[in-house]
Structure 1
Amino acid sequence: MSGIKQPLFNLGPALHLKLVLLIVLSIALMIADQRLTILREARKTLQYVVYPVEILASLPKRTGHLLGDTFSSHAQLLKINHNLRQKNLLLQAKLQKFNALSHENAHLRQLLNASSHTKAKVKIAHLVSIDLDPYSQREMINQGQHDGVYRGQPVIGATGLMGQVIQVGPFNSQVLLISDPASSVPVIDTRTGLRLLANGTGQPNTLNVRSAPYNADIHTGDLLSTSGLGERFPPQYPVCRVTKVERKPGDPFAKVQCQPTAQLDRYREVLLLWYYPSHKPSQSMPPFPHRNGKRQ
């Protein structure tokens, strides 16, 4: 009859009988597997058939582990790279500071070597600030009246004369460099003994000598040093070296350009020199040039 529905599972005695038969068969197979070798060989043969299926079944899991390890390793490498970059920046900063200290140490040795050429009292001073006027060549140092600094005091560098003190405060002093337009230094040509006057131009690498006669024996490469005239600067300190000599017909003077031997626009340390001529007491303070070029 078409109206009668058949049960989905057959729950009759045949199902129980099948279950019992399967259990007995399983027990028999286990006993045979332990006692007979033929089933072992069959199991090995079946493993060749089942192995590809196991590989395919485990492939998603292995792929997941591989991707996880890859992303984890990439993240660790990024973190390690970031840490190494930070350490590299710190090491570079320390290296720059070390190089700066090394250069400063070498410059201080040069200053001390320069001071060994004089018997006068010397003291190292540090640069505090510079004059921002583009036409002025003046610096502020960290030594003042409390340190015994006086107006007109010579200031030298490791390789030559730098200038003189023109203003003295309690703790700081202003230095007029030899390249300032208001500066004039009596010099002498160490090769010929010719007396000249080196004037500042406002540029730290150029001085002018306007007092050289047209037929003066002066050539490129000559070294000009302090002559000691005027008793402002001690004699025989290098000032500049001649870089250009130009003679024009009809002009009674030769145009001479020099380059200061001292590096006026470098370093932060200078050397103060206590210089007093033998016939003057140490308390004397020679006049100094004013900003307008006149002496007071």
Structure 2
Amino acid sequence: MNNGSKKAWLYLLPALILLGAFLVYPLIDVLIYSFEEGYNFASQTYWGIGGYNYSYVLHDPYFLQALKNTLILVAITVPLSTGLALLISTGLSSIRPLRQLYQTVYFLPYVTNTLAVGLVFMVLFQKTEYTDGLVNLMLQWFGGPTIDFIDGPYWAKMFVLCFYTIWVVMPFKILVLTSALASVNPDYYKAARVDGTSRTRIFFRITLPMISPMLVYLVITGFIGAFKAYSDAVALFGTDLNAAGMNTIVGYVYDMLYGDSGGYPSYASAAAILLFAIVLTITCINLLVSRRRPED
């Protein structure tokens, strides 16, 4: 090992220590907990080692409901938020007057407190004894029935959760894609216009390939963020997500640790490892699918 390599490893040492202390060690610790059957947090004892914790979690109806909610949330919000962000970013890039103002307006939800946005959504969608909510008022204008989106049917609650999640995550995606569109070399567009290429063909043949690395980044981080969703559901439906039928996998882990039915770190660890395995698998699939570069 030459002096240059030694210096490089020396510079990386603080980061490696932090990664080991706050990422690698906790992951190994959680993995060990997940195989310790009947672990008692107070006495630090357990009665066996095996896969019972995973079997219990995979047969727990609360976990299965949380898994279903999380998968639906991921399948709906990630493609919709990415597609809408791309559409809005393309529109923002094509206008010049007040562009900075529009970008600021679209970015405002990202810097707004999540719980505050959740309260606003509750006011819009929740039916109370005093009001049916603004959304139900609009439905009545068009002759539709009133719906309790917060305490009503499952599909209505899932609609609000997906809508809320898209609203929260889309500003960041708009910011990233707007910057990516601005970095595309304008000479490509000039050459395409000289050849008489249509705007649609320019978009699919030039714009999309050039910003594809950013799209891949947003899709992967979108999947990871959606699988870790918890505060969004709490902001809309309160802390008892099991009663509302709107819990997520992260919420299930929290409940197993600190909730009313908590005190089961082994079950929580097993659920956390399952979540890690799901996220890792989907991330690897995304990386394999998007491995080809535009220049290939």
- Please state which band the TM-score falls in when normalised by the shorter chain: under 0.3
TM-score by length of 2: 0.20
TM-score by length of 1: 0.20
Which has more radius of gyration?
Answer: 1
